[in-house]
Structure 1
């Protein structure tokens, strides 16, 4: 798994460096893949964690939720994203029945709870995948090279 530093994670997630420090450090709402280990050892983030940060940022901006209240739901979302491939999430939505739970569903799948908050991952994945949106060189460390055979 390839990881990027907090400054790059801030840029890719659409957050400010201050928000990254607050959300991933002081408030510990989102956990970095590799936590900082003292002075000079920066936190490192995977594309899955950056995706979770983008989702949390959308929920915060669009609905005005207090991010610290969503710690459990975002932790559960991070767990669900681990080990998933980038293309497998293309038609997925993050479903939040409440501030303590998260589910991953396909866009057309019916969710049976009465009320829930859903966030499509497509726009966030496009932002991570589109060269015009972000510098390609900045994205390369997030996706390890794979051998292709016939």
Structure 2
């Protein structure tokens, strides 16, 4: 599993280093995947944790929600994301029903029940994560990349600059 440091986490979430520490350590809303071992040792974060942090920023900034009041939701979401593949999240929205109740919704699917919910689209967040973690993204409806194109482009450019030929 690829993990990123605090520096990259702040870039991907829009949180300052101090805010990130507040949310992940002091208030423990969304803990890091690897806690710092000591002073000067950075925490490390998986794509699932970065996605949770990005969604928390949306809830705070766009919906003006007090995150501490919903602190039980984040471990539930984290556990659910840990069981869900990155590819299966594309095209989905997250429906938050209050408390710890949530569900992944396909846009073609009707939201069931009469309960109110907050819907968060995942694709803009997944796009950022895909670029930063070199995770696959859909290329056409129902199809996904077999390997990230960025590594192919970089390899091709390196081969051209050194005069080597690719074996492809």
Relative to the length of structure 1, the TM-score reads 0.81
Higher relative contact order (CA 8 A, sep 6+): 1
Give a deviation string over 1:20-72, Cα, whole Å, max 9, x none. Answer: 11111111100111122222332110011101111111011011011111211
Partner of 2:128: 127
Aligned residue pair count: 137
Deviations 1:59-90 (A, max 9, x none): 11011011111211121111111142222101
Q: Deviations over 1:96-149 (max 9, x none)?
A: 11043332222232232421111110111122235xxxxxxxx24x65xxx97x
TM-score normalised by the chain length of structure 2: 0.73
Alpha carbon RMSD of aligned pairs, Å? 2.1
Listed as ranges, the gaps of 5+ residues in structure 1 are 131-138
Task: Report runs of 4+ in structure 1 exceeding 4 Å deviation.
Answer: none
The whole-number CA distance in structure 2 between the counterparts of 1:87 and 1:72 is 26
